[in-house]
Amino acid sequence: MTIKLPYEFGLDTFGDMEVDEQGNKVSAGQTIRNIVEQAKLADQISINHFNIGEHHRDDFAVSAPDTVLAGIATVTENIILGTGVTVLSSEEPVRVYQRFATIAGLSNGRVEITAGRGSFTESFPLFGYNLADYERLFEEKLELLVELLKEEPVNWSGETRAALVNQEVYPKTEIGRIPLRVGVGGSPHSVIRAAKHGATLALAIIGGHPARFKPFAELYRESLERFNQPQLPIGIHSPGHVAETDEQAAKELWPHYRDGFGRIGRERGWGPMTYEHFFNEVTNGSVYAGSPETVAEKIIVALKSTGANRFDLKYANGGMPHAQLMKSIELYGSKVIPLVRQELGDEIEIG
C-alpha cells in the first residue's frame, strides 16, 4: 500500500560554545541564551523542528537540553522541540518521560524525544555507569522508555534498574503519546531495533555521500513491515552552514569546523583535519555549506537518494558567532526550504 509522508525540515545544535564577533569565547550562559534566540527565529520563519543535543564537555554549553527546551517552549508558538540526542544509556527513563511530558504541557504538545547512545562517553563515569554495559544499558532503557510513552500502567523488569509493577507515571500528556525517534549512526542492528519499537529513524550522516545510507533506509522500511508497524518518517541529520555565497559559507565555517573536529580527532587518534577533506565533504559529501541554491540542491539529492522525508541541518559547528548562526538560520528557512519544496513538493510517496 502506498502512503504519503510530508517533507519536514529542522535545525540541530549541540550548543557549541560560541565566540563573539572578535573571536573571543562567550560564556556558557550567553551561548544558551543565544540558542533561545535562534529557536525563536526558527519558529518565526516556520521551520518545522528545533533539536538540542546533550554533552558533558567544556566545548558544549548544553548538558540538560530538556531544560533549555522548556524555556524555548514558552517563547515559541509552532515549532516542534526535541533532542538530538537524549543520551538514554546514562539517563533515567522515568525522568526522561516526566521532563518531556512537562515540556509537552508548556508547549501545547510541540515535543519529541530523540534517544541515542551519543558519540561521546563522558556521561557514563559522570553518572556512575560502566562503559562495559554500553549496549545493555541502551537496550533496556529504550524498552522501558517505549513502555512509559504509552502513558499506561507500566510493567517492566530488567538488569539495569529496579522493576516497575503496574506503575503509573505522571504527568499524563494532552497529546496522549510523545513521539519517539531513535538516532542511528550506521548500525544495521540499531536500524532494526528502531523499527521493532515503532520509533522514527533519525540517520546521523556526518561524512560521505548520503546515498551510502540508502540500504539503512530500505532495511528500516522492510523491518517496519516485518514487525507489523506502520510506515514511519525517516530523518537525516547533517552539518552545514548557509551564507549568501558558496565562498562566504566555506570561509565562515572552515576555521570552526577545523577546530571542533580537530579536537575530537586528537582525542580519538584520527589524522589532522585538512581543508582538502573539508572541501571534499562540502562538494561531494555531507557538509551542507554554501549559498541557499547550493545547499538546497544538496538536500534534494540527499532526500532523493535515501528516500528520507525529513532533513535536519546541524547549523552550529564549533564556536561560531551568534550573528553568523542567525543569518544561516534565516537563509535556511526563507530560501533553502522553499527551493527544496519547489523541487520535491510537499510529500513523498512510500510503498
Which pLDDT band holds residue 174 (cuts at 50, 70, 90)? very high
Give the model confidence (pLDDT) of 324-340 as tens digits: 999 999 999 999 999 99
Q: How many CA atoms lie within 13 A of 135 on its CB side?
A: 4
Give the model confidence (pLDDT) of 261-307 as tens digits: 889 889 999 888 999 999 999 999 999 999 999 999 999 999 999 99
- How many other CB atoms are found less than 10 A from the CB of residue 91? 21
Whole-model pTM over 0.85 = yes
CATH number at residue 36: 3.20.20.30
Number of domains in the chain: 1
Place of cell 513502555: 147
Instruction: Print the domain residue range for 164.
Output: 3-350
Looking at residues 219-228, what average pLDDT do you find?
97
**Beta-carbon contacts of residue 40 (< 8 Å; ≥ 6 apart):** 72, 75, 76
CB contact at 8 A, 113 and 212? no
pLDDT the model gives residue 149: 98
Place of cell 530560501: 335
Rounded to whole angstroms, the Cα distance separating 276 from 287 reads 13
Rounded to whole angstroms, the Cα distance separating 148 from 152 reads 7
Picking from 319, 267, 65, 75, the residue whose alpha carbon sits closest to that of residue 183 is 65
Rounded to whole angstroms, the Cα distance separating 155 from 168 reads 9
pLDDT the model gives residue 262: 86
Give the model confidence (pLDDT) of 72-122 as tens digits: 999 999 999 999 999 999 999 999 999 999 999 999 999 999 999 988 999
Looking at residues 6-23, what average pLDDT do you find?
96
**pLDDT at residue 254 is higher than 80:** yes
Cα–Cα distances in Å, from 331 out to 12, 198, 311, 312?
A: 15, 34, 15, 14
CB contact at 8 A, 223 and 252? no
Ordered DSSP codes for 38-97: HHHHHHHTT-SEEEE----STTBS-S-HHHHHHHHHTT-SS-EEEES-EEGGGS-HHHHH
Looking at residues 341-350, what average pLDDT do you find?
96
**pLDDT at residue 209 is higher than 80:** yes
CB contact at 8 A, 79 and 47? yes
Looking at residues 131-144, what average pLDDT do you find?
96
CA angle 50, 302, 351 (to 5 degrees): 95
Looking at residues 22-42, what average pLDDT do you find?
97
Ordered DSSP codes for 229-250: PPP--EEEEEEEEE-SSHHHHH
- Average per-residue pLDDT for the chain: 97
Picking from 17, 34, 115, 36, the residue whose alpha carbon sits closest to that of residue 79 is 36
Q: For the chain, how far is it from start to end, CA to CA, in angstroms?
A: 6
Which pLDDT band holds residue 230 (cuts at 50, 70, 90)? very high
pLDDT the model gives residue 186: 82
pLDDT the model gives residue 2: 86
Reading phi first (left if > 0) and then psi (alpha if -120 to 50, else beta), residue 166 is in left
Give the model confidence (pLDDT) of 311-323 as tens digits: 999 999 999 999 9
Looking at residues 35-55, what average pLDDT do you find?
98
pLDDT the model gives residue 138: 97
Ordered DSSP codes for 308-344: -SEEEEE---SS-BHHHHHHHHHHIIIIIHHHHHHHH
Which DSSP helix (H) or strand (E) runs through 296? helix 292-306
pLDDT the model gives residue 256: 96
Which pLDDT band holds residue 351 (cuts at 50, 70, 90)? confident
